[in-house]
């Protein structure tokens, strides 16, 4: 749990977001410590594989994935879904697999400040990496809210439906973690799936998929 000073309000400035993301990273490490320790509070903890831990998050939670991976080497693979990032990666880089997945019009290279944060981090990700955007999606489209909004007739203004975005998100996140935590060989990253024309790769044309080993 992240703690903030008491008060009637707070400014959502750079300092605030830094505390949010680094605080969530500490939360993740605490949970891993508890689950992988000698006396885990959850009876199912023994089935966990300490060498197959991945983390994905949306928005600030996605940006916190980088902070968590930097702080905790147990996190083997990570994905940021539609969240702008803090300048946390050191010059030495981050060499474990990472996936950016965001909405077109916001996170395609050159779209603006949010995309610029990913572009800043991109050369510092020195292991396997990919950068995908989904056309027609909005920020909540990657969450249950996108699906529920469609069902209740309260559209978010997204050209791509909540169900469609959910399917795309599941497909690529599952493929990412299957590849890097389970050793899957055939994934949609080899050739972007023709079943998902909304998905666009932002890799430079001269860079092969990944740019690193598993």
Give the closest residue to 177 by CA, choosing from 65, 87, 89: 65
Domain membership of residue 67 (yes or no) is yes
CA 118 to chain centre: 11
Q: How many domains are contained in the chain?
A: 1
Domain membership of residue 28 (yes or no) is no
Q: Tens of pLDDT along 125-151?
A: 999 999 999 999 999 999 999 999 999
- How high is the pLDDT of residue 69? 96
pLDDT above 90 covers what percent of the chain? 73
Domain membership of residue 144 (yes or no) is yes
Q: Tens of pLDDT along 100-111?
A: 999 999 999 999
Task: Please give the Cα distance from 22 to 88 (Å, whole number).
Answer: 10
Task: Please give the Cα distance from 199 to 45 (Å, whole number).
Answer: 36
Task: Please give the Cα distance from 176 to 155 (Å, whole number).
Answer: 29
The answer to whether residues 188 and 171 touch, using CB atoms and an 8 Å cutoff, is yes
Q: What is the pTM of this model?
A: 0.88
Residues 6+ apart with CB under 8 A from 41: 34, 35
- 3-state SS assignment for residue 125: strand
At 164, is the pLDDT very low, low, confident or very high (cuts 50, 70, 90)? very high
**Minimum mean pLDDT among 2-6, 13-17, 27-31, 110-114: which range?**
2-6
Domain membership of residue 60 (yes or no) is yes
- How high is the pLDDT of residue 5? 57
Domain membership of residue 211 (yes or no) is no
Task: Please give the Cα distance from 137 to 165 (Å, whole number).
Answer: 7
Q: Phi and psi (nearest 5°) for 116?
A: -65, -30
The answer to whether residues 100 and 130 touch, using CB atoms and an 8 Å cutoff, is yes
Say which residue the tokens 């474990």 belong to. Answer: 96
Q: Tens of pLDDT along 34-75?
A: 999 998 999 999 999 999 999 999 999 999 999 999 999 999
- 3-state SS assignment for residue 108: coil
Report the CATH number that the domain containing residue 83 is assigned in CATH.
3.40.50.1820
Structural domain that includes position 94: 51-201
- How high is the pLDDT of residue 106? 95
Domain membership of residue 62 (yes or no) is yes
Domain membership of residue 182 (yes or no) is yes
Domain membership of residue 157 (yes or no) is yes
């Amino acid at each position: 749990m992240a703690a903030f000073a008491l008060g009637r309000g707070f400014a959502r400035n750079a300092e605030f977001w830094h505390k949010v993301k680094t605080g969530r990273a500490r939360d993740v490490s605490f949970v891993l410590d508890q689950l992988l320790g000698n006396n885990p509070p959850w009876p199912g903890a023994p089935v966990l594989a300490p060498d197959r831990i991945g983390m994905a998050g949306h928005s600030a939670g996605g940006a916190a994935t980088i902070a968590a991976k930097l702080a905790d080497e147990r996190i083997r693979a990570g994905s940021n879904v539609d969240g702008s990032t803090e300048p946390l990666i050191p010059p030495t880089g981050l060499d474990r697999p990472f996936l950016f997945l965001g909405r077109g019009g916001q996170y395609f290279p050159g779209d603006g400040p949010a995309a610029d944060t990913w572009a800043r981090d991109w050369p510092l990700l020195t292991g396997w990496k990919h950068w995908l955007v989904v056309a027609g999606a909005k920020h909540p489209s990657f969450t249950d809210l996108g699906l529920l909004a469609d069902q209740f007739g309260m559209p978010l203004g997204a050209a791509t439906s909540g169900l469609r975005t959910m399917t795309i998100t599941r497909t690529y996140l599952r493929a990412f973690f299957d590849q890097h935590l389970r050793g899957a060989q055939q994934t949609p990253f080899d050739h972007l799936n023709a079943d998902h024309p909304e998905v666009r790769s932002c890799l430079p044309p001269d860079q092969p998929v990944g740019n690193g080993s598993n």
